[in-house]
Amino acid sequence: MSERTSVGTDLAHERTGHSGPVVVALHGLTSSRRRERLMRLDVTEGLAGVRRVAYDARGHGRSPGVDDPAAYRWPALAEDLLSLLDDVAPSEPVHAVGSSMGAATALHAAVRQPSRFASLTLMLPPTAWTTRATKAGEYEAAAVLVETEGVQAWVDAGRDVPEPPAVRGRPETEPDVLASILPSVLRGAAASDLPDPERLAALSMPCLVLAWVDDPAHPLDTADALARLLPDVRTRIASEPHDVRGWTDDVARFVHDVESRR
């Protein structure tokens, strides 16, 4: 494994594997490569026969950020992803595997440049469209709480929210974003939504949707809507931790099946 900074962006990323298709891992809001591993949510780390690229989104983990919400809106993060792909895979389509904000980033990038993607794995798709306004208000309130009472107050408040049953036993972790820019990161998410449904319906690459039950931040309504909209899609729904542990195998089968049909 090697730690690098992209030529096309200043995003910190790592590359593993020497042969096979390129798989790009995208993490969720306030997370990072390191935090995804701690939470056992990086479903790409155990993939064999691929060239894996994992990176920290702008303002997350080891990637630098700015105190400007516009930098963290999903279309801006999609531009960062496309710049990274110009560096790590300039001449071939990649398999994007994104969690929550990462799934949203991948979708925005795919509607901009669909030819850059051989497939999309959309893990824990977030609130979107009709459910997004409520979540946006929660992010704005969280930003104000961080500004007035500090990051720990927000973390403590989050402990009162019931966890989905599929994540029982997951280690407790802290946000991997600097306190000085965390309000901007949250406000960028608040100002974001998934692409318009008609643009998603025009995507032709195979897609895999991975979701779990009883999570208002990642509702099954979004997963169901994506399953109806995307022309070539399969879905896996987790209700127990065992189901989530099987997602790496699901992604491996999906990627290699797509490759066999190309």
CATH number at residue 219: 3.40.50.1820
Domain count within the chain: 1
Can you state the angle between helices 101-112 and 74-88, rounded to 10 degrees? 70
Average pLDDT over residues 12-37: 96
Using only C-alpha atoms, the chain has a radius of gyration, in whole angstroms, of: 17
> What is the span of the domain harbouring residue 51?
2-261
| Other Cβ atoms closer than 10 A to 133 | 11
Question: How far is it, in rounded angstroms, from Cα 125 to Cα 28?
Answer: 10
Q: State the DSSP string of 70-89.
A: GGGSHHHHHHHHHHHHHHH-
Look at phi and psi of residue 61 and say left if phi exceeds 0, alpha if psi is from -120 to 50, else beta: left
Residue 158: pLDDT over 50: yes
Q: What is the value of pTM for the model shown?
A: 0.95
Residue 3: pLDDT over 70: no
Q: Considering only 160-174, 198-212, 217-231, which range has the smallest mean pLDDT? A: 160-174
Report how far apart, in Å, the C-alpha atoms of 128 and of each of 71, 135, 192, 195, 222 are.
19, 9, 9, 9, 6
Report how far apart, in Å, the C-alpha atoms of 164 and of each of 217, 229, 242, 250 are.
10, 25, 13, 20
pLDDT for res 1:
53
Average pLDDT over residues 154-168: 89
pLDDT tens by residue, 245-260: 999 999 999 999 999 9
Question: How far is it, in rounded angstroms, from Cα 250 to Cα 245?
Answer: 10
pLDDT tens by residue, 208-240: 999 999 999 999 999 999 999 999 999 999 999
Local confidence band at 7 (pLDDT 50, 70, 90 cut-offs):
very low
